[in-house]
Chain A
């Protein structure tokens, strides 16, 4: 059996140079391959501008890739018709980062959770209210919440409502785009708990996008570390976190603050800022900040061999 979601050599460019626009195009994602099985949780880790959100949108078919191919359950997303695409939407859903902007402020949360049921006609109109209550209960809220508006909820509760909305269509693939990064620590734990529980109970394929390495470890089996639109390192979470091989992964892990002084690594300070994706360096994109870069790094883009894209690993 093939994997549920397969991405092959995906690339995405924004702002193609046209006869009216003078700004250079931005290469957001370059030749990324990824696969995700049913019941598997994969983390996509990277800092701002690494292209992780763009990649996620392409996997959901919300954004067309400039090159490469995404298939969902063997169906190529690029060639399906509009009607079938909308049918596929039912099977893949998204949870957003910002609980403020991810819910429509003018409609009750019940109506928003019912949207998916209505669009795909999953349950008859008479049963929809009961179904919404069931979904609210699944994310730890109660049916009385259905008639309230988003502003009457706290950030953590809104994030649960976003999850309930995504679960309404009974998806097989859930993309969680930084779902906990704007929440308080204690609430973060509640939402992570919920996601882990849903994953095991519903057998969801979960793609977890995060800039926070610490939260990834408890939830995911696999991780892909991205930098400037490319995958730097990928592999099982335990391998990558315990013995990172790419210098970027090493620096990223060492920069994460830790509670336990004994487990703190010597911080590898990366100089400067990430280069602009509109003007990436030649060869390895990380070489301008890499502590171990050599002349050969500028010559060619290192291939992802055995999970690491570094000629010195």
Chain B
């Protein structure tokens, strides 16, 4: 959980402190009447004046806060305790407990809350002691629902299964494992219920169904002041102001808690540098479809600006497959996203250029990118289920991709979609075009994604781990399809993957990335047969073997972006390390036949 914002927390603490300390303050007796001076305006002795019986308004206001907050806290706590127990039992044990917990709360929710409260007060008689159970009953369903929903999502997690496997009993799992994990939303619900209870307490007291006079209460004060509104309008202001301020503070606390609990509301840092500096040179003409020069991606973090991608340059020719291979944190995915203009909000392009058909992709604005993306440049992602829109049919989504770039008549689009689906090997394409994404298997969804990507005859296709989520036999189908399509359309393919064997099978050239830099590049067969960087060597040795021996692991871990070693990034894990490696950052040495390595000692590897 993140830190809770200070302001609302302090406000609530101050209000609670005042309410707690009221008996110790030098205040007049809130019940002492002075009928002669009734409705007197504020004076030194009575800073907020006297009410219709001549009682001290300030004193009644503060004692009233005590009543209101005590009723709110007690009823919210009771509801929380009871609701949590029911929700936990219902969600974890299922069966009868679930039926009882959920359905009984549905019944409570069927009654309008005010009517239910009125009914119970009528039965039990008014008074603060009645209000607490009444409000508790009203707010229990909220807690049950929050806890029940939380338990349902937590109970399917592996760590709960692990506790069962360890032999833990149900009560231990519920209290020690599940409860802490639903505590966040529970806290938010508590502050919501307490705020609502303050309002409802005042409302019921105003109606004469809550706190019984002469005990002080905000609701009663508002009710009494209403009667004398013409003579002393100020009397109405004080309790209303107290009520509003308390509720405002409580709601602010709710928001602060929700922000602290919810991982999704982290404020995004906006890019500072709107445009990268102009590129140093014009694109190399010739057969290159994509020409990336000196790409640098930066991210602003609380620890300063980091550069997860540094000095990346490469070209992709028509009909060529270039693989970018690397482990997590190598910057391979960010490189792909930067080219597609899809960097997350916190990241931005620091410098560099990426030329595609006369456009510098890194300098395009949003409108420019929309023209390019899905047209000459298209992409497929790892998880087709989250990249397809779940509420639209597959065919509609493919047609939409076409409409975004060309004027296509409706019936033509329909035929075109069927032809495309047929081309990507979708069985029964006309029927499948009417299917929703969830009705298709993972392999078919990936085929649909590919159909969408090739709909506008792209020159460059960027595929980020397109088969990682698929089974091996399905992966084989998709790889075959990609190979066929590439030959047919003669498009450049950038294939981003962590799997060396996969890259060995599909790619023509390979870029090996480590900690944000290219460490080696070249023809895929040459690189894998005779690697010239120790990282490539180590990576190849850690890949699963055919001969049944255990793979050799690389000691240590990838350095963090804000703790890069001054010299070679791989030096701390490298067996060939010498003093020079740690002193200076090695440049990318260009060798013959398009190979390059970022190692000072490459000659000893060759």
Which residues in A have some Cβ–Cβ distance to B below 8 Å?
47-48, 60, 62, 86-87, 89-90, 92-94, 96-98, 101-107, 112, 115-116, 119-120, 154-156, 162, 165-166, 168-169, 184-190, 192-193, 196, 211-215, 217-219, 237-238, 251-252, 254-261, 263-264, 267, 269-270, 272-274
Residues of B355-390 contacting chain A, CB below 8 A: none
Contact of A185 among B157, B443, B444, B543 (CB under 8 A): B543
Residue picked from B525, B528, B544, most chain A C-beta under 10 Å: B544
Residue of B nearest to A165 (CB): B162
Contact with A along B464-504 (1 / 0, CB 8 A): 00000001111111011000000000000000001111101
Contact of B553 among A97, A186, A214 (CB under 8 A): A186
> B498 to chain A: which residues have CB within 8 Å?
184-185
Determine if B23 is an interface residue (Cβ-Cβ < 8 Å): no
Give Cα A120 to B165, complex, Å.
Answer: 12
Contact with A along B173-217 (1 / 0, CB 8 A): 000110011010000000000000000000000000000000000
Determine if B551 is an interface residue (Cβ-Cβ < 8 Å): yes
Which stretch in B14-22, B286-294, B534-542 binds the other chain? Answer: B534-542
Residue picked from A251, A255, A263, most chain B C-beta under 10 Å: A255
Let me know if B473 and A47 touch, CB within 8 A. yes
Residue of B nearest to A90 (CB): B167
> B275 to chain A: which residues have CB within 8 Å?
none
When A and B form their complex, which 3 residue pairs have the shortest distance between CB atoms, in order from nearest? A89-B167, A214-B544, A189-B553
> B441 to chain A: which residues have CB within 8 Å?
273
Let me know if A94 and B162 touch, CB within 8 A. yes
Determine if B554 is an interface residue (Cβ-Cβ < 8 Å): yes
Let me know if B505 and A218 touch, CB within 8 A. no
Contact of B165 among A94, A237, A259 (CB under 8 A): A94
Give Cα A134 to B180, complex, Å.
Answer: 27
Contact with A along B259-293 (1 / 0, CB 8 A): 00000000000000000000000000000000000
Residue of B nearest to A115 (CB): B166
Let me know if B159 and A267 touch, CB within 8 A. no
> A252 to chain B: which residues have CB within 8 Å?
472-473
Determine if B557 is an interface residue (Cβ-Cβ < 8 Å): yes
Determine if B576 is an interface residue (Cβ-Cβ < 8 Å): no
Give Cα A135 to B444, complex, Å.
Answer: 45
Contact of A269 among B169, B476, B543 (CB under 8 A): B476
Let me know if A257 and B471 touch, CB within 8 A. no
Give Cα A269 to B481, complex, Å.
Answer: 11
Let me know if A115 and B163 touch, CB within 8 A. yes
Residue of A nearest to B443 (CB): A273
> B169 to chain A: which residues have CB within 8 Å?
86
Determine if B327 is an interface residue (Cβ-Cβ < 8 Å): yes
Give Cα A192 to B505, complex, Å.
Answer: 24
| B195 CB → nearest A CB, Å | 26
Known: A96-B162, A189-B550, A189-B552. 6 other contacts (CB 8 A): A62-B161, A104-B181, A119-B166, A119-B167, A256-B501, A259-B500
Known A193-B550, A212-B544, A259-B540; judge A101-B472 contact (CB<8 A).
Answer: no
Determine if B5 is an interface residue (Cβ-Cβ < 8 Å): no
Determine if B164 is an interface residue (Cβ-Cβ < 8 Å): yes
> A169 to chain B: which residues have CB within 8 Å?
166-167
Let me know if B542 and A188 touch, CB within 8 A. yes
Known A104-B159, A189-B552, A257-B505; judge A89-B542 contact (CB<8 A).
Answer: no
Residue picked from B328, B473, B477, most chain A C-beta under 10 Å: B473
Known A185-B498, A212-B544, A267-B476; judge A105-B443 contact (CB<8 A).
Answer: no
Known A190-B553, A238-B548; judge A256-B162 contact (CB<8 A).
Answer: no
Known A94-B162, A188-B551, A269-B480; judge A213-B540 contact (CB<8 A).
Answer: no
Let me know if B472 and A213 touch, CB within 8 A. yes
Let me know if B166 and A214 touch, CB within 8 A. no
Determine if B344 is an interface residue (Cβ-Cβ < 8 Å): no
Give Cα A86 to B171, complex, Å.
Answer: 14
Known A185-B539, A218-B545; judge A116-B181 contact (CB<8 A).
Answer: no
Let me know if A251 and B504 touch, CB within 8 A. no
A-B contact pairs, 21 of them (CB 8 A): A48-B471, A60-B165, A87-B167, A89-B166, A97-B158, A106-B183, A115-B163, A119-B167, A154-B557, A155-B328, A184-B498, A190-B553, A192-B551, A196-B550, A214-B544, A217-B545, A218-B550, A237-B548, A255-B475, A270-B473, A272-B427
> B162 to chain A: which residues have CB within 8 Å?
94, 96, 102, 162, 165
Let me know if B543 and A259 touch, CB within 8 A. yes
Let me know if A115 and B505 touch, CB within 8 A. no
Determine if B549 is an interface residue (Cβ-Cβ < 8 Å): yes
Let me know if A89 and B502 touch, CB within 8 A. no
Let me know if B161 and A96 touch, CB within 8 A. yes
Give Cα A92 to B168, complex, Å.
Answer: 13
Give Cα A259 to B502, complex, Å.
Answer: 8
Give Cα A97 to B158, complex, Å.
Answer: 9
Residue picked from B162, B176, B500, most chain A C-beta under 10 Å: B162
Known A185-B543, A255-B472, A255-B475; judge A214-B501 contact (CB<8 A).
Answer: yes
Residue picked from B167, B177, B180, B548, most chain A C-beta under 10 Å: B167
Let me know if B476 and A255 touch, CB within 8 A. yes
Let me know if A186 and B327 touch, CB within 8 A. yes
| A219 CB → nearest B CB, Å | 7
Give Cα A156 to B163, complex, Å.
Answer: 21
Determine if B32 is an interface residue (Cβ-Cβ < 8 Å): no
Determine if B172 is an interface residue (Cβ-Cβ < 8 Å): yes
Known A115-B163, A264-B505; judge A215-B544 contact (CB<8 A).
Answer: yes
| A11 CB → nearest B CB, Å | 21
> A217 to chain B: which residues have CB within 8 Å?
544-546, 548
Known A101-B158, A185-B499, A185-B539; judge A193-B553 contact (CB<8 A).
Answer: yes
> A269 to chain B: which residues have CB within 8 Å?
476-477, 480
Give Cα A275 to B482, complex, Å.
Answer: 24
Give Cα A231 to B501, complex, Å.
Answer: 27
> B539 to chain A: which residues have CB within 8 Å?
185-186
Residue of A nearest to B476 (CB): A255
> A261 to chain B: which residues have CB within 8 Å?
504, 525
Contact of A186 among B443, B471, B538 (CB under 8 A): B538
> A274 to chain B: which residues have CB within 8 Å?
471
Let me know if A102 and B159 touch, CB within 8 A. yes
> B557 to chain A: which residues have CB within 8 Å?
154, 156
Give Cα A237 to B545, complex, Å.
Answer: 13
> B525 to chain A: which residues have CB within 8 Å?
261
> A116 to chain B: which residues have CB within 8 Å?
166-167
Give Cα A260 to B474, complex, Å.
Answer: 21
Residue of B nearest to A213 (CB): B472
Residue of B nearest to A248 (CB): B473
> B501 to chain A: which residues have CB within 8 Å?
214, 256-259
Give Cα A188 to B476, complex, Å.
Answer: 22
> A92 to chain B: which residues have CB within 8 Å?
165
| B602 CB → nearest A CB, Å | 20
Known A258-B546, A259-B540, A273-B441; judge A185-B165 contact (CB<8 A).
Answer: no
